[in-house]
Every structure is written in structure tokens, then in C-alpha cells.
Structure 1
Amino acid sequence: MRRRPLGALVLTLLLSSLLLVAPRPDTAAAATPITVTQAIATQNSSVATVRGYVVGQPTATSTVVTSGFPNDYALALADSPGTTSTSQMVYVQIPSAFRASFGLRSNPSLMGKQIDVTGTLAAYFSHPGLKDGTAFAVVGSGGGGGGGTDPSIPAGYYDPAAGKSGAALATALHGIIDGHTTLTYAQVWEALKVTDADPNNSSNVIEFYSGRSIAKTTNGGDPDDWNREHTWPQSHGGFGTSNGPGTDLHHLRPEDVTVNSTRGNKDFDNGGSAVAQCPDCFSDADSFEPRDSVKGDVARGLMYVAVRYEGGDGFADLELNDSINGSTAYLGKISVLLAWHAADPVSAAERARNNLIYGSYQGNRNPFIDHPEYAESIW
């Protein structure tokens, strides 16, 4: 897996440990919100969850606009929704994974709402700030949309990952989701009838790539049946269908037999010719592009696989790379998957499926659904 070096993070932590500062919120306490006033007074690169009201978008050190928002990159928080003095505000940098849900140009209705943001207390726009956010949530609702924190996540589930990035974050996430309850390949049939059921017709499932609603009972291998699609192909790792990656619901989906055959074991990329029976899907000799509304789902499922299967439980070390080459145990293209992840944020349906797999089948979660920001930190 292509992971970012930890040198800058290690240096920051070493320097922080040498500074004599006032008591500060640390990683373990980051889940307990502090006020904006406390955040302004604690600009020491520690990690904290800050609770405040959205009062505008900073565009300069002493300028915050309250309408006509130019982009989704930042917001300002204050302890009171009526605050106008920038000296009483903390400026929040919004990572790309959260912009669709918490950027003010896209979500002007956030003005005046109280939110919790977890990030690093460090200057932004040369002003007291909160950077590199790892969680955004509207207080009382568990999230502001696609990138918000799911209230169904068990308390403390991701504590071992707090404050980490790059390879250290990937290792921590592997430890969290490793050792899940595995299914047989036969059990996958029945599980998909639940996890991918059509919300408008309980007798049907929704095919993943095509979006077609089809009777649950038509699962099989004949044309126009639906079967079990491995978004991470079995041949990219040689794991087959024994209990393990070949039966992991976080990346298995129902799909039309013909469309599944067209996809085959191709890597994911943009472009190609239109795919029959799969609106807005494209394919060429070595790659497949699904419809826009599931591109993020594809990416996050593959990211889960790459972190979950690291070669320590009898299966290959499955890795994402930026190639279209069909190499065993590698799948691409990570640059495209990251773009899909950002363009198609986590949906309510995706969160519900994650919760169902965790609670009813495997006992583990997809971290990239719960914390979309982890993707950019690792790859």
C-alpha cells in the first residue's frame, strides 16, 4: 500500500513533547468537546474536538463572510451564533472528504448550527485554527450528511487510530477490523439478500453496478440472473471463495451475470465503451468504470480490503496501486479511486449497510465509510 511517510508527524510529536505548555486536550480525550475559547487558547498542535456555532467562512486573517461563500474549504466557529468578532472565532480547515457535507457554499443552511469538529489545534489563515479534521458532526444529529460521523459507531471503536496517519494509521485500522466473523460462500447468497435489499421492494435486491432491482430468488449463473460480484477480483490475490476475502461482505455485491462477466478481473479506471445492461458504465480491455452513484462505494470497499488483508492470516497481502496491469495481489488505480471517493461521498444507505454487516454478520466495520478522511491520510 502506498502510504505517506511519518517523518513530519514524528517530528511534530517530538517537538510538542518538549514544549512546556498549559494542560491541553490529548488524543485520548479528543472525543470530549472543548469550547472555541479553549481552542483559541490552546494552539499547540494537539488534537481536540471543538464544539461551536458556524458563524461564517474565513477568507483572510481578519475577514469572515456570512453569505456568498466562495468555496467549501473553510468555516469559522464561535461559542455564540451571534458572534461577529473574528478574535472570538476559530478557523476550521475542511478536508476534501468533508467538503460536500460541511462546506458552506454547498451547505449554507449550516450557518448558525452547532457542530463538533475533531482536528489539530494549529493556526489557519494566520489565525487560531483547527486543521486536518478527522470528524465533523452536527450536534444532536450525528452528522451533517455524506461525510458526517455515524452515531452507530461503538464508543471507542477507533480509539487505537486516533492521532495516527500514513502507515501507522493503516496498521491501527488493520488491528481494529482484523479477526472478523467469516461467512461461507453459500452464506454470502443469503446475506446479500439482506444487505443489498431494495428499500422499495423487499422481494428484490439492487444490483451494484447496473442499479437494477431484481428478484432475490433469481440468484444463480444464468444470463439475467444476479450473482456474487467480487469488487476485488479473486485473481488479484488468488484467495478463491474459502472463508476470508472471497466471502467478505464489505466488498461483495449482487450483480447481473452478464455485467459481472464484462467487468471480469479488470482494474478500475475512467473511460471505455458503454456496457450493455449497465447504464453509465464503461469498459475497455483492461479497466472498468461503474456508474457515478456507486464510484465512492467501490473505492471505499477496496480500501477496506487493502487494510484488512495484510498477509498475516493465510491470504496474500492485498494492495492498491496506481497501475492497470492485473498483477497478482494488486489492484488499481488508487489515484482514480481517491477521486471517486471524494466525488461520491458516503451516503445514508452506505452507512446503513456498514452497520448491518457489523451488527448482523461480520462484527467489523469499514473504516473508510465511518471516517472518509482516513483515505487521504494513508494513500
Structure 2
Amino acid sequence: MGKFMKLSSLALLAFVLLFSFDSSKALSISLPVSQAIQQQNNSIKTVEGYIVGKPVSSTSVITNNYPDDYSLAIADSSMETNTSNMLYVQLPSQFRSQFGLKSNPELKGEKIKVTGNLTAYYSHPGLKNTTEMILLSSDGETGDGSDEGGYTGSYYDPAIGKSGEELKAALHNIIDDHTEISYSSVWEALKQTDADPNNSNNVILLYTGRSQSKSSNGSGVDNWNREHVWAKSHGNFGTAMGPGTDLHHLRPTDVSVNSSRGNKDFDNGGSPQGEAPDTFTDNDSWEPHDEVKGDVARMIFYMDVRYEGDRGELDLEVNNVVNNGTTPYHGKLSTLIQWHHQDPVDNFERQRNESIYNDYQHNRNPFIDHPEWVEAIWN
């Protein structure tokens, strides 16, 4: 009898320990936003999602010009626009300086983990009484430390699992059909896509890194103008709608610096440019400063994949030479791959990609969302 009771006690203890372990493990599991929306019962839960904007009413979320740091909207996809698929998160005072969008507009598109009570906020499924917030995605990495990009929606489904020419063809088909804008419309578009996150009245100039008034665009000295990163003479497409107005490779630049770059290919070396810090050039190549080397590379890779010669369009190709002249080629591939790794995707690029997708062309640069696809195509 004593032996039976001793065994029963040990079994009971083992059951209690097992139940306790499983329960604590269950409490540590993060819910996706879709499940959190369904569990509005005031329970304390941890939820993972992408910051997609700031709620201002039960049916409205804004994505720029944030008035305060009091709340966030999160979703299972960084590209979500339907408020019914969003969870509204209340930001107590201790989290506002770090996670509020007025103070940190670059956080839009980032993935976070947040803990609090699942209960209505703004008369909408929400999370209140927030006790913990953790930033999961940064510099192109997801929360598990992999090299995958931050986009998890269905946009790229036809490309998943492919590589080489098969991947390139799949990506082309995904990004090929987009809304084209006029060259005159590019002026206003760049004022939004390249806005200084710290000063909404300014844009950031690509090669100089200078923050400059949006209204100072034009052709005068120290004005900014529209730079074709894939030089428009490389294929002679000019400023016609299509490659000539594609915002994914058009950036604001200082007028004289733009002229100095001309139609040169990209490569390392040369003499200091003078007006653009840490920029070098010679008779046939251009090396921008380190902070935008990856940006330049990913824009060139986008152009290669987007324009493949179908439907009467140009077939643009990146190659491993410089001095390409008027041929529809742009180099130098090996250098651009080096720059892509040297300067990873940052929040400015992500925000720009989102703006072009949501507000203008409705297509994306896949190499910002999935940096690993550069090597998968050009290995």
C-alpha cells in the first residue's frame, strides 16, 4: 500500500510538472494578428505583426504625417490595407518614444511582438494595457535571424522555391504590370517617396545625402532634379513612360552632381567627386558613398528583372563591364553584388518601396523585400 501511494505521488508530481511546463510554453507562444482579432476576450496575450500605420477611427488607418505617438495598427502582412485585418495597439507613455510613428515613422513595415489585453480599442479589435513591446525585424532580417525579407503576403507566392532564370522569370511576371506615370508627375512623387523622415518639408538627395527643401527642385545651381539611376541612355529610353518614369530607379539628386555622374556605369575607384562626400568617379564609372551603394545595386537589379523585352519593351540587362554606352546594358555586376551585401536594406528603402507600391505604381522591388534573391539569380 505504501509503495502504491509513493508511486502515485510520483506520477501526480510528474503530471503537475508536465502540465506546468506545457502551460508556460503555451503562454510564451505569440499569436498572429488574425487570431488576436478573434480573441477579443480581455485575455493577456502576445501578438506578432507588422506595423502598417496609425489608427484614427474604427475604419481608418493613416500611413504618413502621423499626429501623435499614441497607437499603432499591426497586421500579418506589411502590405495590409484592409482595416478589418488589423489589430489596433494602444501605446502607453513608456513605449511612445521608441515605438510611436510620429517619433519613428521609419518603423512602418517593421515586425514587432507586443503583449497586453486583447480588447476593443477605437471600437475595433485591439490590444490595450500594453506591458511589453519588442522590435523583431531590422535591416532586412526577420525575427528568427534568417536572411529572408520582411514581406510575408501572397504577392511573391509564384516565385517561392525558385532560383536562377526560373526565379527571374517569375519575378518579372509579378512586377511587370504596373501603373505608369508621366515624367512631369515624377516631381511630386519623389517629394513623397524620398521625403526626409525627420523633416517632412525636405527630400533626401541620393548621392550627396543632403536633406533639402522639396520646393527647391528645378535646373538651377544647388537645385535637385530627377536622376535615372539606370542611365536613360543605356537603351535610349529617355523620359518616356515606362523605364523613363519608373520610380523604382528615379531619385532626387543635386543638379550638378547628377550632371557629373552622367551615364556612367557603377564601379569602385576613381578620384573624389568633390561635391558629393565619399563619392568617386573616373571617365567611365561612378562610385557613390557607402550609405547608398546597396540602394543603387537593388535599383539596377530591379530594372533588369522588370524590363525583359516582352510587349515591345526594352530588354535591359546588367553585365560585368563598364562603358556600356547606349546599349541596353548596365554594369558592373560583380561590383553591384558586392555593394548589395556591403550596404543592406534599410528602413528608408522599405518606406520608399511601400510608397511606390501603395500610392503610385502598385508594384514592388523584390530585392528590397527579399535580398537573398540577388544571389539566387546572379550567383
Could you tell me the TM-score, scaled by structure 1's length? 0.61
CA deviation string 1:78-112 (max 9, x = no partner): xxxxxxxxxxxxxxxxxxxxxxxxxxxxxxxxxxx
**Structure 1 segments of 4+ aligned residues over 6 angstroms from their partners:** none
Amino acid at match of 1:238: N
Residues 324 and 333 in structure 1, CA contact (< 8 A), matched pair in contact too: yes
Aligned to 2:356: 357
Distance 1:234 1:314 in 2: 17
* RMSD over equivalenced CA pairs, Å: 2.0
| 1:158-177 deviation line (CA, Å, top 9, x unaligned) | 11001110000000000000
Any gaps of 5 or more consecutive residues in structure 1?
Answer: 1-31, 33-113, 116-139
Query: Does 2:296 match 1:298?
Result: yes
Q: Within 1, Cα distance between the matches of 2:202 and 2:351?
A: 17
* Counterpart-to-counterpart distance in 2, 1:143 and 1:303: 23
| 2: CA distance, partners of 1:227 / 1:257 | 6
Paired letter, 1:324: V
* Structure 2 alignment gaps of length 5 or more: 1-31, 33-111, 114-133, 143-147
Partners of 1:161 and 1:215 lie apart in 2 by: 40
Q: Distance in 1 between matches of 2:153 and 2:344?
A: 23
1:232-280 deviations in Å (ceiling 9; x for gaps)? 0111011111110110111100000100000000000001111122000
Partner of 1:132: none
The one-letter code sitting in structure 2 at the alignment partner of 1:175 is N
User: Is 1:167 aligned to 2:129, yes or no?
Assistant: no
Instruction: Give 1:315 shift.
Output: 2.5
Match of 2:96 in 1: none
Q: 1:154 to 1:242 in 2, by over 3 A?
A: farther
Aligned to 1:261: 259
The share of aligned pairs that are identical, in percent, is: 60
Aligned to 2:371, the other structure's residue is in SS state: coil
Q: Counterpart of 1:252?
A: 250
Q: How does 1:1-379 map to 2 (within 5 A)?
A: 143-148=137-142, 153=151, 155-327=153-325, 328-379=327-378
Tell me how far apart the structure 1 counterparts of residues 224 and 139 of structure 2 sit (CA, whole Å): 31
Change (3 A) 1:194 1:288: same
Residue 120 of structure 1 aligns with which residue?
none
Matched residue SS, 1:317 = coil
For 1:226, the aligned partner's letter is W
Instruction: Identify the structure with bigger relative contact order (alpha carbons < 8 Å, sequence gap 6+).
Output: 1
Please state whether the residue corresponding to 2:359 is helix, strand or coil.
helix
Q: In 2, are the aligned partners of 1:259 and 1:276 still within 8 Å (CA)? A: no
Q: Report the CA distance shift for 1:141/1:314 in structure 2 as closer, same or farther (over 3 A).
A: farther
**Structure 1 residue 325 displacement after superposition:** 2.3
Contact preservation (8 Å) 2:149, 2:368? no
Q: Which amino acid aligns with 1:362?
A: Q
Do the aligned partners of 1:147 and 1:345 also contact (CA within 8 Å) in 2? no
Aligned residues: 243
The answer (yes or no) to whether the contact 2:140–2:149 under 8 Å persists in 1 is no
- Provide the secondary structure at the position in 1 that maps to 2:189: helix
For 2:197 and 2:207, the matched residues in 1 are separated by 17
* 1:300 aligned counterpart, secondary structure: helix
Aligned residues of 1:279 and 1:291 also touching (Cα < 8 A): yes
Letter in 2 for 1:337: L
Residues of 1 paired with 2:319 and 2:341: CA distance? Answer: 18
**2:227–2:253 CA contact under 8 A, matched in 1:** yes
The answer as to whether partners of 1:272 and 1:284 remain within 8 angstroms in 2 is yes
Residues 7-57 of structure 1: per-residue CA shift (max 9 Å, x gap): xxxxxxxxxxxxxxxxxxxxxxxxx9xxxxxxxxxxxxxxxxxxxxxxxxx
Structure 2 contact 140–371 (Cα < 8 Å) conserved: no
Distance 2:355 2:291 in 1: 20
Q: Secondary structure in 1 aligned to 2:310?
A: coil
Larger radius of gyration: 2
